[in-house]
Chains A and B, each alone.
Chain A
């Protein structure tokens, strides 16, 4: 390959770009994989500095993302996070100090990075992503997501897909998403409506199967069963009037002691305070190293998208997903996750997903099952058929009116092959299923 495109931007140790001497080597020179029409230099620098980015989450990934974007030359960054700083964040969320415990993450993080990296403006918002509307999200060139909640991811994904207007190029906002667990993680790039979306990829993040209630209630075998019993059953029976706060040590202690006592009754070993906390708060192990890997991978893609300095993940019909595994050597699997034509968010609206159900199960059982289905994961579903309202979570009057249906069997409520529409307050979209009865 010839070096026809190599142009030289003066690289000096003085002047306004002295700070960006290293970055400018890349911004100012073509490489073997840059587009032949790409012109390195000033226009690239300008578009990088003009791009307004939104970072969702200022936790383990978010701290890294903010630092990385600021040191990639982005100048205008917004960050949303509703959380305050907890002491258990300090082993990886490096923008926070002990004295910051209790303060808003987004604010402390923004201030810290602004101080370290001169010239970057970081605008924090301490609240929920759901507080903001399309008008707000429209202002950004890209959104980089470092969240631990699948619900929030699905919400922003559905919102961005819904914003796409075929006649307006600017309405398409690339979504770059990262996630970690222990030594593993993933980074993915989504071009809403053009490439596979978070909802299409939901089966990559199957929820852990819940332990049946009867096991918890009558035949516990594992220490976790005793903890779940204390959490789900004992608390409601004995402390109904107190709202369980999993951050309150007194509450965890109460659950721990309850669980321990139950475990002793059944000769089950292994209930500890730490395990109680882990089960009740659904704690996912997290370390600085993995956050660094995943966050940097996301920001590397954001940088390439903003500057065209190299091809990026998520170009339609190419790889869009990198899976990283670090507990057994180092292994990455970078692949193209395909769009699901029947995706309830980015797929064809008229299509309903086929779903096989047991006609003898009750509506309640069916709805409970939706929480566990990898491709649904709905926690507060409302459901209607073509004919009638089957169950509504709200308003209260409708809930009361439809509640009796919960104990009815599916074959009493529906015809074989009938379509149902399910909605959930956590998501801006509806889910359509065609229910066929199992023999």
Chain B
């Protein structure tokens, strides 16, 4: 029995401050955020990285470090909100860091003003960080070093361009990046198992539908729709060799049967619970089959071959895979949608599902324990993690992170297995792949031009010579396109080829027009998207971008491509 209400513990100061976000990622997500330490390698006008940080300092990221050797100039004040006039001539890293720290006293901020070239060569310079955000322009050899670090240490690496009305980011996630808590739409999570009922559920249905015909109106109008569905399904089976409705026609007929069983001789002219049963009828006749992407997870090597070092995800996934092989279904998630019913009946039904879910969890847990013993695993997987996994089993997700392109001067860009599909999509009239190519060409320009002798900053196209640079970058972009088509082993026919080149030319022209400038709005918008992705990567919740996102601020559109 439940106890008396406990004395009310109001929310803590922290819960109050973070209330609106805790409703999204919960206490565990918040803890992960507070344990993280992000490195921002800032460059160019330097706004998009700072705007990203703003959105991470506010919700309470534990620790951040800004590496930036730039000196604050007057031009910074027209585009960066986290600088003031009095800091002109000072280090941009220092002052942006200090003004960001003002946003949240719970956050630790640090800065490094040593030039990136020398700082990165120090051993262990990257060791403290759990996530890296690198802003273009950056010398290719440095970006390559960061990419290698991400590969070796499995920490997420983001690479961002923000130029004029356009932006881009790519994320290099670990090659096996699984997510349990994907936050699926609540409408997709109900799984009531009408075609795979267990004895207690059938018993419940029988109990609630016995002498249906003689029931009082009020009782009849409160039979939970799940009981109605099961009752009619059993009746149907009696008349169809024990089979449930198979064809579309049968299914529609089944639906009509239920619809006709509703009483209409009442003031409302119908019954709400029967309306619910009719609405759920067709869906309930679908086998509770896991999605192909979930079944795929059971087959990947990490899942099949668990060992003592395997992350807990794979141990639990393996155990659930065994469960699926045995029963042909995933563990019952246990949630019951709300429905017209009396309180006691609903709670009883809820308990039927909860007990079954519990039983399934115990069976999976047993397999997990067995795996732990046989592999000699040293840390014990917590029961609540197994429970959480079982609840979300139908919605787990595996992302295969991979390195993004690092454009090296004079080297042809390799698209690998992605060449074909990207070359094919290149001709779609609305695709932003041409914009991605324009950014690659932008990087090639940076890689092939000497740094500014005064500031040491990489030189960007269009800073002074708009027309010549446009021509240069267009030429590079065309070559990248032709190389891509060649690598894909295909060719694009006219007039499509000319159309593709025209679009690439326009993107390049608009990009070079900015002369490497950031527009504050585009930087802020991009910083918003990137910070969402960083929160996903840190909390291991929601579904991340895989692996490249482009934003076109002329048309106000994004596109995600896998490169």
Contact = CB atoms under 8 A, between A and B. Distances in A.
B472 interface: no
B228 to A, nearest CB: 16
A19 B79 CA distance: 8
Contact of B5 (A64, A187, A261): A261
B55 to A, nearest CB: 4
A91 B529 contact: no
A334 B24 contact: no
B545 interface: yes
Given A117-B81, A322-B556, A64 B20 contact: no
B510 A296 contact: no
B17 interface: yes
Nearest to B183: A327
A289 B545 contact: no
A182 interface: yes
Contacts of B521: 68, 72, 296-297, 299-300, 303
Interface string A1-31: 1010010100101000011111101100111
Interface in B61-92: 73-75, 77-79, 81, 84-85
Contacts of B518: 22
Nearest to B80: A71
Contact of B525 (A6, A92, A297): A297
Contacts of B138: none
Q: Which of A3, A23, A25, A253: most chain B Cβ within 10 A? A: A25
Nearest to A185: B528
A21 B60 CA distance: 33
Given A3-B470, A328-B542, A23 B517 contact: yes
B524 A295 contact: yes
Contact of A29 (B79, B513, B520, B535): B513
Interface stretch (A215-223, A338-346, A347-355, A418-426): A215-223
A187 B556 contact: yes
B505 interface: yes
Contact of A71 (B81, B183, B528, B556): B81
Q: Which of B51, B55, B347: most chain A Cβ within 10 A? A: B55
Contacts of B9: 273
B264 to A, nearest CB: 13
A332 interface: yes
Interface stretch (B123-131, B356-364, B547-555): B547-555
Interface stretch (B110-118, B146-154, B336-344): B336-344
Interface string A278-297: 10000111111111111111
B21 A326 contact: no
B309 interface: no
Contacts of B527: 292
Interface string B92-127: 000000000011110000000000000000000000
Contact of A283 (B5, B20, B466, B505): B20
Contacts, number: 271
A302 B295 CA distance: 47
A87 interface: yes
Interface string B263-282: 00001000000000000000
Contacts of B467: 3, 6
A297 B533 CA distance: 18
B545 A292 contact: no
A327 B5 contact: no
A290 B529 CA distance: 7
A92 B517 contact: no
Contacts of B21: 91-92, 285-287
B137 interface: no
B525 A25 contact: no
Contact of A97 (B102, B182, B528, B555): B102
Nearest to B272: A212
B513 A25 contact: yes
A437 interface: no
Contacts of B513: 25-26, 29-31
Contact of B78 (A20, A97, A277, A283): A20
Interface in A86-119: 87-88, 90-92, 94, 97-98, 116-118
A331 interface: yes
A249 B15 CA distance: 14
Contacts of B502: 1
Interface string B521-563: 1101101110111010000001111100100011111101000
Given A72-B521, A303-B521, A264 B509 contact: no
A49 interface: no
A293 B528 contact: yes
B8 A91 contact: no
A330 interface: yes
Given A88-B19, A283-B23, A300-B525, A257 B8 contact: yes
Nearest to A88: B19
B20 A286 contact: yes
Interface string A244-267: 000001000100110011001011
Nearest to B559: A332
B522 A300 contact: yes
A118 B24 CA distance: 37
A303 B502 CA distance: 26
A92 B58 contact: yes
A90 B1 CA distance: 40
A257 to B, nearest CB: 5
A125 interface: no
A116 B466 contact: no
A375 interface: no
A221 B345 CA distance: 9
Contacts of B22: 274
A334 B524 CA distance: 19
A332 B464 CA distance: 34
A288 B514 contact: no
Contact of B75 (A19, A31, A116, A329): A19
A423 B243 CA distance: 56
Contacts of A199: none
A68 B520 contact: yes
A311 interface: yes
A69 B75 CA distance: 17
B326 interface: no
Contact of A310 (B75, B542, B554): B554
Given A13-B75, A72-B520, A91-B60, A330 B545 contact: yes
B174 interface: no
B524 A183 contact: no
A289 B8 contact: no
A278 B23 contact: yes
Contacts of B514: 22, 25-26
Interface in A301-325: 301, 303, 310-311, 313, 319, 322, 324
A326 B543 CA distance: 9
B178 interface: no
B558 A25 contact: no
B506 interface: yes
Contacts of B11: 273-274, 277
Contacts of B466: 3, 6, 8, 29
A278 B399 CA distance: 33
A87 B16 contact: yes
A22 B24 contact: no
Contact of B267 (A11, A183, A360): A360
A54 to B, nearest CB: 18
A219 B341 CA distance: 7
19 contacts: A1-B505, A3-B467, A8-B466, A19-B74, A22-B45, A22-B75, A29-B513, A31-B513, A118-B85, A253-B10, A273-B11, A274-B19, A283-B19, A288-B59, A288-B531, A290-B532, A293-B525, A296-B528, A330-B533
Given A32-B509, A267-B347, A292-B528, 16 more contacts: A20-B75, A22-B45, A71-B79, A94-B58, A116-B81, A118-B77, A220-B343, A273-B9, A273-B11, A293-B529, A293-B532, A299-B521, A300-B519, A300-B556, A328-B542, A330-B533
Q: Which 5 residue pairs of A and B lie closest in terms of their CB atoms, listed nearest first?
A: A292-B528, A22-B517, A296-B525, A293-B528, A71-B520
